[in-house]
């Protein structure tokens, strides 16, 4: 399994889409994927053989539900085992091999988004886009102020607006220490461009679908005006699958 997932850990959605469309992926070599309780948690077994991460660690989740979801993802593969269609496995690999040993740089990167969060910068026109941003973004900003004690400022345009230090500290304190929640939060933050959306999702204020809608207000507006691009839609589907996998981890640990 190491060679199967090594090349997919850091690739972009475009690279994964192109790779998934070309031959060379490994054929399914197992009859059944299951999850069993082990010392590391709830591990995936392929015909009773353990699955390991690219760093040769046991592929295991902290809860039975996540372990079963991992096994289901492997079981859903048909003739070909395609990592591009296994977002939960890719995320768990990254958490086990990357986040668990070095959580602080991950938390620091999430915190950096807070100062220049997507939700801080609003359109000045047209009025319909301004209204749509407010519809999806204002409730999240209000939630952060009330639930986290983090009152952020917004502005029109892209000129930098300095955020209050007390707001940054309050929101930073909400970033989890647990590597599983931290790794999932990082994925949502980078996918959406918003640590506030990620925190709202992690605390149950937003569903995965609502978080995705909030993150794509501008893109949805542009597609309504100019039409859809097929490659862009494939990329978007790939990224939404990643966000749903992260949401599953946030809800399951």
Give 154-171 pLDDT, tens digit per residue.
999 889 999 999 999 999
Tokens standing for 70? Answer: 């991992």
Residue 5: the pLDDT is 63
Model confidence at 3: pLDDT above 90: no
Per residue in 170-210, pLDDT (tens digit) is: 999 999 999 999 999 999 999 999 999 999 999 999 999 99
Mean pLDDT, rounded, of the chain: 91
- Spatial neighbors of 90 by CB under 8 A, at least 6 apart, are 5, 8, 9, 83, 242, 245
Decide: helix, strand or coil at residue 164. coil
C-beta atoms surrounding 40 within 10 Å: 14
Place of tokens 């199967």: 4
- Nearest of 102, 243, 101, 241 to residue 184 by alpha carbon: 243
d(CA 241, CA 244): 5
Cβ proximity of 120 and 155 under 8 Å: yes
- Residue among 9, 7, 177 at smallest CA distance from 97: 9
Number of C-beta neighbours around residue 110 at 10 A: 23
The Cα angle at residue 167 between residues 240 and 190, in degrees rounded to 5:
20
Check residue 207 and give its pLDDT: 98
pLDDT value at 136 more than 90: yes
Confidence (pTM) = 0.90
pLDDT given for residue 105 in this prediction:
96
**CA 14, 20, 26, 29 torsion: positive or negative?**
positive
Q: Which residue matches tokens 């995936």? A: 44
Residue 227, pLDDT > 70, answer: yes
Domains annotated for the chain, with CATH where assigned, are: 2-86 (3.30.2180.10), 103-252 (1.10.3580.10)
pLDDT tens digits, one per residue of 20-77? 334 458 899 999 999 999 999 999 999 989 999 999 999 999 999 999 999 999 999 9
Quick one: pLDDT at residue 253? 73
Quote the pLDDT of residue 6.
63
For residue 12, what are its two tokens?
């972009």
> Is a pLDDT exceeding 80 seen at residue 83?
yes
SS3 21: coil
SS3 123: coil
Q: What are the distances in angstroms from CA 26 to CA 5, 23, 30, 41?
A: 11, 9, 11, 27
pLDDT for 158 equals 86
Strand pairing category for 155-156 and 121-122? parallel
């Amino acid at each position: 399994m190491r060679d199967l997932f090594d090349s997919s850990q850091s690739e972009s959605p475009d690279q994964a889409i192109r790779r998934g469309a070309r031959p060379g992926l490994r054929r399914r070599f197992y009859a059944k994927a299951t999850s069993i309780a082990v010392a590391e948690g709830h591990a995936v077994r392929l015909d009773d053989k353990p699955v390991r991460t690219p760093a040769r660690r046991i592929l295991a989740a902290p809860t039975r539900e996540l372990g079963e979801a991992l096994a289901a993802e492997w079981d859903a593969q048909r003739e070909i085992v395609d990592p591009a269609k296994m977002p939960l496995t890719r995320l768990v690999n990254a958490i086990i091999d990357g986040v668990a040993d070095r959580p602080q740089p991950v938390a620091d990167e999430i915190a950096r988004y807070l100062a220049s969060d997507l939700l801080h910068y609003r359109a000045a026109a047209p009025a319909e886009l301004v209204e749509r941003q407010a519809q999806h973004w204002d409730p999240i900003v209000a939630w952060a102020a009330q639930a986290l004690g983090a009152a952020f400022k917004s502005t029109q345009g892209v000129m930098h607006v300095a955020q209050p230090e007390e707001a940054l500290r309050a929101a930073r304190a909400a970033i989890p220490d647990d590597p599983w929640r931290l790794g999932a939060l990082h994925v949502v933050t980078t996918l959406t461009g918003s640590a506030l959306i990620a925190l709202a999702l992690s605390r149950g204020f937003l569903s995965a679908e609502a978080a995705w809608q909030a993150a794509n207000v501008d893109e949805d507006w542009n597609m309504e005006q100019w039409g859809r691009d097929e490659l862009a839609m494939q990329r978007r589907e790939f990224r939404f699958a990643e966000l749903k996998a992260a949401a599953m981890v946030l809800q399951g640990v």
